[in-house]
Amino acid sequence: MTGHVRYGLYLPPFGPFGDPAALADLAVRAEAAGWDGVFLWDHVVPAMPPIADTWTTLAAIAQATSTVLLGPMVTPPSRRRPWLLARQAATLSRLSRGRLILGTGIGSDETGDFSRFGDPSSPAELSSRTDEALEIVRAMWAGEAVRHEGPHYRVSLDAAGPEPYPLPVWTASTTRHERVLRRAAASDGIFPLPGPRPLPPAELASLVARVRPPDRPYEVAVSGNASPAWDDPGTVDLAALAEAGMTWWMESLIHFDPLDLSLTVVDAGPPRIGG
């Protein structure tokens, strides 16, 4: 039950990580050290300047690496025009030869990513926009003719060829609201974000039982700090989380972590279960 777990890095492209060249170098080092993925937060307003654009940086990472999976973790479709999101994601998928994972969530206004620009920021509206946007995005990837008249978006597109690579979508969740759980169950994975510590294994198992489809592969990503390379290593029970359904461990690098220390964690490689 524990051999299927993959290991990613999860970090913001601002503060000490605000230099896109430094992020590309970090991804190259991560690949060499045995990490399976590198995933970037997607914000407009940084909690700590400077800030790099997530999508431009991911394109640089795609070019600099060959095996690590990558993607925004997470991007809010509610803050983007869904047809542009669909094109950007499809382009990055092709550029990386199918290594993109699209992490999605309704978004947070904690630093003003919505309100500073006059955009709606209520959770109810963001949730509605997210569901509608993902419907459009998936239809465009499938190459379908899109004739969409919704409460938030209007789209008229002729049919085209489908994207050559699968484009998995993960759903981030900070609540157990029924609408969020339905969105997660319709996705290819879930990324619960409870706070600075991962969910206890029993809670994770309960959540997985509610959203994991019985008839197709499904990813369960959990974030926190488990690397022994930290100055104060955590005591996360990775084996118990894997038994509860975790398929990805996301080692979290935060914007107030010094770059040198973060690179030490990267170079140390993943904190393997039983290692």
Active site residue 255: no
Does the active-site annotation cover 43? yes
Instruction: Please state, in angstroms and rounded to a whole number, the distance separating the CA atoms of residues 225 and 228.
Output: 9
The string of DSSP letters for 112-132 reads -TTGGGT----HHHHHHHHHH
What is the distance of C-alpha 53 from the center of its chain? 15
Residue 200: exposed, middle, or buried by beta-carbon count in 10 A (0-12, 13-18, 19+)?
Answer: middle
Of 4, 31, 110, 177, catalytic? 110
**Secondary structure letter of residue 273 according to DSSP:** T
**8 A C-beta contact, residue 70 and residue 58:** yes
Catalytic residue among 43, 163, 219, 255: 43
How far is it, in rounded angstroms, from Cα 10 to Cα 251?
6
Measured CA to CA, the distance from residue 248 to residue 259 in angstroms comes to: 23
The SS3 call for residue 217 is coil
DSSP-derived letter for residue 59 is: H
Residue 101, CA distances (Å) to 39, 89, 157, 192, 272 in order: 9, 9, 24, 16, 22
Among all residues, which ones are annotated catalytic?
Answer: 43, 110
